[in-house]
Chain A
Amino acid sequence: MKMTYREAVRQAMHEALVADPRVFLMGEDVGKYGGSYACSLGFLEEFGPERIRDTPLSELGFVGAGIGAALGGLRPIVEVMTVNFSLLALDQIVNTAATLRHMSGGQFSVPLVVRMATGAGRQLAAQHSHSLENWYAHIPGIKVLAPATVADARGMLAPALADPDPVIIFEHAQLYNLEGEPAEDGHCDIATAALHREGADVSLVTYGGSLPKTLAAAGQLAAEGIAAEVIDLRVLRPLDMATIFHSVRKTHKAVVVDEGWKSGSLAAEVLARLAEECFYELDAPPARVCSAEVPIPYARHLEEAALPQPARIVAAVRRMLGK
């Protein structure tokens, strides 16, 4: 059954709330407003204010409260409006959620799920548009997911909630209106990367909001006779490198598409691991298509120029293949 990414997120949360009385949703405007991306519309009426909990504008406080609630036996879904605002809660996520199990010698796990929107593309300028997934993917002790499809938006929440450790889910804001099909049973894993398109000439590795752009680029390349393989990382920590290695051993060429800035990016991590493990399999220096090193600008033409676009991906592949 076709649905939007937004509806998939909503259904996944609805299913979790119905299935487990320990699950509750907490965040800014998740209740009366229905969620800043309308992912929890109608929940307040259905589940009541205890389980659909509107919070004050206190990211540090309510994310930390989510950690405490998880320790206390609940299964919180904490919604942070955007990754940009999550920086106000960075201390609790990095210094507490990620460390508690280890610091306590394994006595306390933190079964917390934090969802947040990420990414650019809507002319929201430099405080609402950044892609900082990589900051979180740097941290041992947390898992980082980036559902790029309707199936993953629908399927990733249940295993994230079942996970005894903190999981952060990044929903790219440009994907909420995307249409697609969830898996038949609604389920998926949160461990592996996914092959979206097979091809023998080059491996295109991407995640999140860049997946549709990368698939569009692969379509254009096919029209030019270049067969690109497209891999969606899905899980940003821990990375499923086996799937990427497998692909690169076949294509011998890799381009990573990442909406984060190039410096210190996830793309850099993927390429470093390719260099460590697959150096002699590579027939060309690997390449990256990332965001320009600038705070995301407001003006539409400048924002578009700052972000990875299908044309830039196509150009990077052509350059690599000498075409």
Chain B
Amino acid sequence: MTVPYDKPFAQKLLFDMLRIRRMEEKCAELYGAQKIRGFLHLYIGEEACVVGVLHALAPEDNIVATYREHGHALARGVPMNAIMAEMFGKRSGCSGGRGGSMHLFDAATRLYGGNAIVGGGLPLAVGLALADRMLGRRAVTACFFGEGAMAEGAFHESMNLAALWRLPVLFCCENNLYAMGTALARSESQTDLCAKAASYAMPTLKADGMDVVAVHEAAKLAAGHVRDGLGPFFLELQTYRYRAHSMFDPDLYRDKAEIEDWKARGPLHTFSARLKAEGKLTEEEFLALDARAEAEVQAAVDFAEAAEWEPVQDLLKDVHTPGAAP
């Protein structure tokens, strides 16, 4: 299939994926250098999912994500400087240094976290959608989660509530086949995730999560359905993470051959090859985009390095809202 987008938009999709890839490669390096600590869950390999979906959304829409959300924050428009500073634990981070890699928040772009409880974001998304509906706003709440979350009670309760009340939630399952080290077939009696979701009387769609075009087309359809007030929609994006679950994971549970097979389907090189074949990208243009992404990453690292630490006297800040009763 030819890429159904003009050159600027096609290159925009590519660039957005490239920014995520280059930022996260740098994060892995910085983790080794102990600049970034705690847990670090890389999204490398899955970039087409978030880029394809977020380009189908509008500024008034809400985003709820998981602890593997660097790409979501970046693609949504959170400045890379603020993301990198957050990972460094600096005050100028997008969560003031209180959240870290797993808890990127941004009120300006309606990014409601970065939730590190598997399935924890789903009820939240239902509530955000309920508020939009009750306040008469025509917004979509996009809720990202992995296939692992579909074994949680929170998934079932949220799907039921959203369908029962016909709420504007776009459920985006990034199915990367492994819940940490547990393969889908080892944890789910029903491995057809759309069949599972469809039991809540909700429309579903499966898309190749390695193909940004497939994701974007599916997301446009799904988001349109939700925005038109027709109720929630379940989107399964079939994808794969190239890196281990976290930096602590020795990755002993996957075949090397399986990883290589999925790498052959990599979202960046397959898409750029298609664009080149269709005359929508030259090698020079690719190198220029890549250089721009690399430069942005370097600037973000410099920003985070130079940023100030929050004074320890402020430790108890933001437990409660200032001005509220103690």
Contact of B161 among A58, A70, A109, A164 (CB under 8 A): A58
Chain A contacts for B160, CB-based, 8 A = 56, 58, 61
Pairs A–B under 8 Å by Cβ, sample size 29:
A50-B134, A55-B161, A56-B160, A62-B161, A64-B120, A65-B123, A66-B127, A67-B124, A68-B112, A68-B124, A68-B129, A68-B130, A69-B131, A71-B124, A72-B130, A72-B135, A74-B130, A103-B113, A103-B114, A105-B93, A105-B95, A105-B99, A106-B317, A107-B105, A108-B112, A165-B321, A165-B324, A189-B325, A191-B326
Which of A30-38, A92-100, A125-133, A273-281 sits within the interface?
A92-100
Q: Which residue on chain A has the smallest CB distance to residue B326?
A: A238
B245 in contact (CB, < 8 A): no
Q: In angstroms, how far is the closest chain A Cβ from the Cβ of B124?
A: 4
Whether the Cβ atoms of B120 and A107 lie closer than 8 Å is no
Chain B contacts for A15, CB-based, 8 A = none
Question: Which positions 209-241 of chain A face chain B at CB distance < 8 Å?
Answer: 238
Chain A contacts for B317, CB-based, 8 A = 106
Asked whether A96 and B120 contact (CB < 8 A) given A104-B113, A109-B321, the answer is yes
Chain B contacts for A65, CB-based, 8 A = 123-124, 126-127, 130, 158, 161
Whether the Cβ atoms of B106 and A107 lie closer than 8 Å is yes
Chain B contacts for A91, CB-based, 8 A = 117, 120, 154
Chain B contacts for A67, CB-based, 8 A = 123-124, 127
Whether the Cβ atoms of B318 and A63 lie closer than 8 Å is no
Total chain B interface residues with beta-carbon distance under 8 A = 47
Q: In angstroms, how far is the closest chain B Cβ from the Cβ of A243?
A: 14
Q: Which residue on chain A has the smallest CB distance to residue B159?
A: A61
Total chain A interface residues with beta-carbon distance under 8 A = 47
Whether the Cβ atoms of B98 and A105 lie closer than 8 Å is yes
Q: Which residue on chain B has the smallest CB distance to residue A91?
A: B117
Question: Which positions 97-145 of chain B face chain A at CB distance < 8 Å?
Answer: 97-99, 103, 105-107, 112-115, 117, 120, 122-132, 134-135
Chain A contacts for B103, CB-based, 8 A = 103-104
Whether the Cβ atoms of A102 and B131 lie closer than 8 Å is no
Q: How far is the CA of A147 from the CA of B160 in the complex (A)?
A: 34
A138 in contact (CB, < 8 A): no
Chain A contacts for B131, CB-based, 8 A = 68-74
Q: How far is the CA of A72 from the CA of B135 in the complex (A)?
A: 9
A292 in contact (CB, < 8 A): no
Q: How far is the CA of A40 from the CA of B154 in the complex (A)?
A: 27
* Apart from A61-B126, A105-B93: 17 A-B pairs, beta carbons within 8 A: A56-B161, A61-B123, A65-B123, A68-B124, A70-B131, A71-B131, A72-B135, A73-B131, A74-B134, A91-B117, A103-B105, A103-B114, A104-B113, A105-B95, A107-B105, A141-B319, A164-B323
Whether the Cβ atoms of B114 and A60 lie closer than 8 Å is no
A101 in contact (CB, < 8 A): yes
Q: How far is the CA of A296 from the CA of B7 in the complex (A)?
A: 70
A313 in contact (CB, < 8 A): no
B203 in contact (CB, < 8 A): no
**B182-198, CB under 8 A of A: which get 1 and which 0?**
00000000000000000
B256 in contact (CB, < 8 A): no
Q: In angstroms, how far is the closest chain A Cβ from the Cβ of B223?
A: 18
Q: How far is the CA of A68 from the CA of B133 in the complex (A)?
A: 12
Q: How far is the CA of A193 from the CA of B62 in the complex (A)?
A: 40
Question: Which positions 171-190 of chain A face chain B at CB distance < 8 Å?
Answer: 189-190
Q: Which residue on chain B has the smallest CB distance to residue A92?
A: B123
Task: Name, among A22, A95, A108, A141, the residue most crowded by chain B CB atoms within 10 Å (CB to CB).
Answer: A108
A24 in contact (CB, < 8 A): yes
Q: How far is the CA of A262 from the CA of B96 in the complex (A)?
A: 39
Question: Which positions 254-305 of chain A face chain B at CB distance < 8 Å?
Answer: none
Report B's interface with A, CB cutoff 8 A. 62, 93-99, 103, 105-107, 112-115, 117, 120, 122-132, 134-135, 153-154, 157-158, 160-161, 164, 317-321, 323-326
Q: How far is the CA of A40 from the CA of B84 in the complex (A)?
A: 49
Q: How far is the CA of A22 from the CA of B134 in the complex (A)?
A: 9
Q: In angstroms, how far is the closest chain B Cβ from the Cβ of A207?
A: 18
A201 in contact (CB, < 8 A): no
Whether the Cβ atoms of A92 and B318 lie closer than 8 Å is no
Q: Which residue on chain A has the smallest CB distance to residue B122?
A: A64
Chain A contacts for B125, CB-based, 8 A = 68
Whether the Cβ atoms of B326 and A73 lie closer than 8 Å is no
Whether the Cβ atoms of B134 and A24 lie closer than 8 Å is yes
Chain A contacts for B129, CB-based, 8 A = 68, 72
Chain B contacts for A22, CB-based, 8 A = 135
Q: How far is the CA of A184 from the CA of B222 in the complex (A)?
A: 54
Contact of B128 among A63, A72, A103, A165 (CB under 8 A): A72
Q: In angstroms, how far is the closest chain A Cβ from the Cβ of B214?
A: 29
**A38-68, CB under 8 A of B: which get 1 and which 0?**
0000000000001000011010111111111
